[in-house]
Amino acid sequence: MPIDFLPILVMIAVVAAFAAIALILSGLTGPRRPTRAKLEPYESGMPPFGSAMRRVSIKYFLTAVLFILFDIEIIFFYPWAVLFRQLGLFGLIEMGIFILILLVGYVYIWRKGGFDWD
């Protein structure tokens, strides 16, 4: 049984070695010209202002949670699509109910103003 996992372990070792070699070579051969502008913190295309400990709007967290929620739900479509023919009408009805629940959640968030970016 463990011999069955040997190709996966070899692939992981090759990928890890390639990543390590690429990082080491780029660190050794890359140019180093630090300037004051290059050493400043930079985030989201805007220069930083104020303290890093300022309050963040709840809309930021709401957007992140909604993205994760709908992204995770979309992942469930892949196994259904793979087994679509085997599931038959039962699988189609179940996926219809699943999509309906997602649609109800989407409309609820829309009505509550979760997609307003003001």
- Region 111-117 average pLDDT: 78
- Its pTM stands at 0.48
Enter the tokens of residue 48. 């930083």
Cβ neighbours of residue 59 under 8 Å, at least 6 residues apart?
117
> Whole-angstrom Cα distance, residue 72 to residue 75?
5
From the list 82, 80, 100, the residue with the least C-alpha distance to 90 is: 80
CA distances in angstroms from 68 to 17, 73, 100, 110, listed in the order given: 32, 8, 19, 16
Which CATH code is given to the segment(s) 2-112? Answer: 1.20.58.1610
- Region 98-107 average pLDDT: 88
| Sequence letter at residue 60 | Y
pLDDT at residue 65 greater than cutoff 90: no
Enter the tokens of residue 92. 């189609």
